[in-house]
């Protein structure tokens, strides 16, 4: 009996192995695993370079850059071919006197993604960018210079940062190949711009930038305001960041900007700071300044009058008394100027510059 039980037990332990069923189960498990992997791979990565429906517009202002245009176009074409996306390149010929426009015509004949707007005369970089922004049809706009110092191979990385939650990504030429004076004056310029605008960037004036469409359609640039587009965007409520980019030495020609850019740049910085803070409330600026100057003049005059009565010192011998009166008059003029500016603002008030992010 014991032997029978043992045999029976042994028989149960050594149950026949069903190879076919096991293979089927294994195949099912493998199939389930593969389907899970496929589903995971099909998920959109959080920091993908481009959304499927996004078109890119590249705006390139230029002035007498005929030697670099073919090389730049070839490099841009390689970059966008690797991205496999819908794109356009807008050259803005700012009144070039060389064969730049003829060169762009040749490029356009080979590839109609490359287009051009030609000005009758030189209007400046801000005007060129403004026209380019109006003509751009893309959801994302890239700006860069035509002198080959900006590298098109940096565009995919800029797009990746932009699509991670920012409205504007500014390039940062961490290693610069510019003349000594230009390099170091730019550091001073960037420091003061960061302080006054409230956005901390190392290189406001880098030509290589990526923007969401809303930014370029909202920010108004004129004069030489192109240097302050990140500051203007930040003050308008857009999210701004920067990314280090490669910078190359100029290959052809010479720089088109002279020493006057530093003076003009400082004055434009004051314009940006003032207009964004006090455009709709000028009395707050002129009135505050007027009150401070008037009060200082009043206390100076009051002090001298007290001395006259206490010590008998004649006011005619005190030039400081005239300074006090002058300061009170100037203060009242500033206050009056603020009131006039307030009346002009009130008569032209509109809410067109109020930017709405989302409505539900």
What pLDDT digit, counting tens, does each position of 138-184 carry? 999 999 999 888 999 999 999 999 998 899 999 988 877 766 666 66
What sign has the CA pseudo-torsion 305, 306, 308, 314?
Answer: negative
Give me the residues paired with residue 129 across strands.
none
| Side-chain half-sphere CA neighbours of 199 within 13 A | 23
Residue range 55-278, CATH number: 3.90.550.10
What pLDDT is recorded for position 212?
94
Which SS3 state, helix, strand or coil, does residue 234 take? helix
Which SS3 state, helix, strand or coil, does residue 117 take? strand
Helices then strands, counting H and E runs in the chain, come out as 12, 7
Distance of alpha carbon 331 from alpha carbon 159, whole angstroms: 51
For the stretch 239-286, pLDDT in tens is 999 999 988 877 776 665 656 666 777 777 777 777 777 777 888 888
Angle between helices 319-347 and 282-311 (to 10 degrees): 160
β-pairing, 55-62 vs 86-93, is parallel
Distance of alpha carbon 85 from alpha carbon 78, whole angstroms: 12
Q: How many CB atoms lie within 10 A of CB 194?
A: 16
State which residues of the chain have pLDDT below 50: 1-47
């Amino acid at each position: 009996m014991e032997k029978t039980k043992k045999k029976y037990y042994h028989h149960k332990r050594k149950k026949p192995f069903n190879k076919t069923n096991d293979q089927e189960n294994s195949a099912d498990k493998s199939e389930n695993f593969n389907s899970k992997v496929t589903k995971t791979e099909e998920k959109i990565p959080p920091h993908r370079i481009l959304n499927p429906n996004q078109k890119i517009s590249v705006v390139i202002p230029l002035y007498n850059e005929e030697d670099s245009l073919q090389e730049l176009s070839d490099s841009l074409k390689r970059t966008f071919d690797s991205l496999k996306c819908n794109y356009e390149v807008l050259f803005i010929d700012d009144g070039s006197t060389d064969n730049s426009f003829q060169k762009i015509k040749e490029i356009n004949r080979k590839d109609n993604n490359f287009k051009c707007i030609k000005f009758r005369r030189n209007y400046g970089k801000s005007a060129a960018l403004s026209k380019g922004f109006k003509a751009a049809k893309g959801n994302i706009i890239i700006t860069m210079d035509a002198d080959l110092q900006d590298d098109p191979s940096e565009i995919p990385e800029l797009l990746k940062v932009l699509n991670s939650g920012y409205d504007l990504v500014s390039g940062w030429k961490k290693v610069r190949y510019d003349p000594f004076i230009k390099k170091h004056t730019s550091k001073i310029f960037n420091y003061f711009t960061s302080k006054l605008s409230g956005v901390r960037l190392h290189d406001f004036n880098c030509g290589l930038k990526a923007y969401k469409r809303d930014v370029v359609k909202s920010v108004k640039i004129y004069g030489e305001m192109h240097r302050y587009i990140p500051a203007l965007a930040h003050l308008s409520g857009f999210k701004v960041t920067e990314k280090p980019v490669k910078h190359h030495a100029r290959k052809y020609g010479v720089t088109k900007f002279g020493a006057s850019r530093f003076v003009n740049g400082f004055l434009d910085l004051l314009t940006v700071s003032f207009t964004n803070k006090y455009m709709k409330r000028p009395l707050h600026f002129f009135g505050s300044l007027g009150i401070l100057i008037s009060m200082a003049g009043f206390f100076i005059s009051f002090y001298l009058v007290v001395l006259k009565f206490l010590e008998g010192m004649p006011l005619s011998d005190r030039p400081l008394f005239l300074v006090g009166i002058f300061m009170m008059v100037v203060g009242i003029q500033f206050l009056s100027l603020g009131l006039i500016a307030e009346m002009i603002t009130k008569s032209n008030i509109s809410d067109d510059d109020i930017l709405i992010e989302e409505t539900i």
